[in-house]
Amino acid sequence: MRWGSQFVFGTVESIKLCSWGFHHAMKDTRWTSFDLIFFDCDSTLSTIEGIDELARLKGKEWRVGVLTEKAMNGDLDLAEVYGKRLQAIRPTRGQLKAIEERYWETLVPDAQAVIDALRFLGKQIFIISGGLAEPVRGFGKRLGVSPEQIRAVELEYNELSGDWWRYYEPQTQHDQTYLDYNEGPLTVSSGKPRIINELAGDKRGRRLMVGDGASDLATRSVVDLFVGFGGVVAREKVRDQSEVFVQSKSLAPILPLAAGPSGYARVIGTPHQAVFGLGITLALNGGMIVKSDDLRQTFEKAFIPDVP
Ligand SMILES: [Mg+2]
């Protein structure tokens, strides 16, 4: 299999490859846009893994980093490593705030501009993360994603740690240490599909998910298009199994993928045109791998005017 020269974009007859796959929806050869856009957080919107950064604050980076890497590559289930990592770190609320700041300092190139453009185009944006809820939610809010469209792992704090007799003072909350995490779909490798279904609820529209890890790949069964993101870490399993794999450092190719040529027509003359244009250029010049010829040709037809 040759990567690189293979582009991707689906079309043609309604081949029912899977019950939810996007193949069945595309009867003609137009690039169809998506309405509900789901992003992973760590190594997708930000270049860091939040839990590894926390570990660094505590001098436990080696032990925790090995576990994260194994989970993201699909070698260990997240359920096996989640508790182990947190037990090793035992973060305080103050340290979580520091991680929110780190997420913000390490934004993936064009992440903010892509989200701004998607919002301008009326797309619904979600963040689904196996990271910790406080920093992910704070980071997502700064990006302009509403808190109810963000899901991550909630922690419980020990109210009796820090100077508990001054519990009402912000500094005390700051010092509270982690007690336990709420086990749920985001702490196991196969849980993200359930969260997508919950968040989408009865919202109509086509779904696109972007992520770098094995737990993101697991959402393929509930979205119309899964886009692997390799701009921060290119994981072999994700690259091999994604319908579309973005390998540019920038997230800009998500825009033409999500919004199609009709989206581009709407951003012309607006502040969003530049990042959309960059996305098209990157996508057509090696920044993106598309697995099926049909899909690739449809994308090229949509964005290269003289392709018949
Ligand atoms: Mg990730």
Annotated domain spans of the chain:
22-303
The confidence score (pLDDT) of residue 3 equals: 39
Helices (H), the chain: 50-57, 61-72, 78-89, 93-105, 111-120, 133-143, 170-175, 192-200, 214-217, 236-241, 254-267, 273-284, 293-303
48-52, 79-83, 213-217: range with lowest mean pLDDT: 79-83
- The rounded Å distance from CA 1 to ligand 1 centre is 26
Instruction: Give the model confidence (pLDDT) of 274-304 as tens digits.
Output: 999 999 999 999 999 999 999 999 999 999 8
| C-alpha of residue 125 to centroid of ligand 1, in Å | 16
Ligand 1: distance of its center to the CA of 233 in Å? 9
* Cα 59 to middle of ligand 1, angstroms: 22
Q: What is the mean pLDDT of the chain?
A: 85
User: What is the whole-number distance in angstroms between the Cα of residue 275 and the centre of ligand 1?
Assistant: 23
Q: Domain 22-303 belongs to what architecture?
A: 3-Layer(aba) Sandwich (3.40)
CA of 213 to the centre of ligand 1 (A): 5
3-state secondary structure of 178: strand
Measured over the CA atoms of residue 194, residue 195, residue 196 and residue 201, the dihedral's sign is positive
CA of 296 to the centre of ligand 1 (A): 25
Give CA–CA dist 137/161, Å, rounded.
Answer: 24
Cα 300 to middle of ligand 1, angstroms: 28
- In this prediction, residue 76 carries a pLDDT of 86
How many alpha carbons lie under 13 Å from residue 117 in its C-beta half-sphere? 32
pLDDT tens-place string over residues 109-140: 999 999 999 999 999 999 999 999 999 999 99
Q: What is the pLDDT of residues 222-255, one digit of tens each?
A: 999 999 999 999 999 999 999 999 999 999 999 9
The model's pTM is 0.85
CA of 239 to the centre of ligand 1 (A): 14
Query: Ligand 1 (ion): which residues have CB within 5 A?
Result: 40, 42-43, 212-213
Instruction: Compute the distance from residue 257 Cα to the ligand 1 centre, in Å.
Output: 20
Q: What does DSSP say about strands 288-290 and 244-246: parallel, antiparallel, or unpaired? A: antiparallel
